[in-house]
Amino acid sequence: MSEPDIVPPHTRTIVELGSGDGRVLHALAQKDPQTVYIGIEVDAGQCRQAKALDYLQNLFITQGSFEDLVAKMPNGSIDGFIAVLPDPSYIDEKKEEQWRPFYKIVYAKLKSPGAFRLVTEITDELLQPVGRDEFDRWTVWLLETFRSLGFQVAEVTEGSPEEYSSRCLDQFRGDPERIKMLTVDFVKP
């Protein structure tokens, strides 16, 4: 008689970049036990909160820099990445040249086909309401930037997925005039 597997067989691997308190990944892992979910979080306190959630065999939280850890993953090994409200230094228009190389690495690590879900936001520097024209221009810039890295756009949705919950998401949803969110599903063909 053989020993049971410690980790059940899985069909996919999804990595969250900056998993925060772990709520988003935990909810996804509960609904999909055939997928292994890996959360990477640099903040020790957030990492402890994520690890304190109910234990799931298909959820792994690790503390560290996602830039360092993703770079060590084999190319073509990840089915999907998720980034929910990345720090502005990883998505800000003014800092594009600093973060573009990282998303090139993300693209290389994805299987073909693979997916990258980005939930991000735009705010006014003075925290004034964000106008429709500004939001539309920013959305076009964001989509074109990721297309230039090789990604194709599968779906664009204003707002954030309702099933996603985190401290920041919940707070941002309460101020839709000054904080406009966007969810983009990119694919690697």
What is the tens place of the pLDDT at every residue in 42-100? 999 999 999 999 999 999 999 999 999 999 999 999 999 999 999 888 898 999 999 99
Q: How confident is the model at residue 126 (pLDDT cuts 50, 70, 90)?
A: confident
Helix (H) or strand (E) holding 189: none
Q: Which residues sit opposite 16 in a β-bridge?
A: 39, 82
Check residue 11 and give its pLDDT: 84
Check residue 2 and give its pLDDT: 44
Give the DSSP letter string of 2-66: PPPPSS---SEEEEEES-TTSHHHHHHHHH-TTEEEEEEES-HHHHHHHHTSPP-TTEEEEES-H
Hey, what are 10's tokens? 């899985």
Q: What percent of the chain has pLDDT over 90?
A: 85
- The C-alpha angle with vertex 161 and arms to 184 and 13, in degrees rounded to 5, equals 70
Phi then psi dihedrals of residue 183, to 5 deg:
-115, 125
Please determine, for residue 185, whether its predicted confidence score (pLDDT) is greater than 50: yes
In the chain the domains, ranked by start, together with CATH numbers, are 12-188 (3.40.50.150)
Q: Where are the beta strands (DSSP E) in 124-178?
A: 152-158
One-letter identity of residue 108: A
Q: What percent of the chain has pLDDT over 70?
A: 95
Check residue 74 and give its pLDDT: 96
Q: How confident is the model at residue 4 (pLDDT cuts 50, 70, 90)?
A: very low
Q: What is the pLDDT of residues 104-119, one digit of tens each?
A: 999 999 999 999 999 9
Q: What is the pLDDT of residues 148-165, one digit of tens each?
A: 999 999 999 999 999 999
Closest alpha carbon to 91 in 69, 111, 118? 118
One-letter identity of residue 8: P
Please determine, for residue 3, whether its predicted confidence score (pLDDT) is greater than 80: no
Report how far residue 110's alpha carbon sits from residue 68's, in angstroms, rounded to the nearest whole number. 16
Check residue 90 and give its pLDDT: 87
Hey, what are 35's tokens? 């997928």
Report how far residue 185's alpha carbon sits from residue 54's, in angstroms, rounded to the nearest whole number. 28
Check residue 9 and give its pLDDT: 61
Residues 154-164: b if buried by 16+ CB within 10 A, e if exposed: eeeeeebbeeb
Contact 169, 92 (CB under 8 A): no
Task: Look over the chain and give the mean of its residue pLDDT values, rounded to a whole number.
Answer: 92
Residues in the chain: 189
Q: How confident is the model at residue 125 (pLDDT cuts 50, 70, 90)?
A: confident
* Helix count and strand count (H, E) for the chain: 6, 7
Give the mean model confidence (pLDDT) for residues 19-32.
95
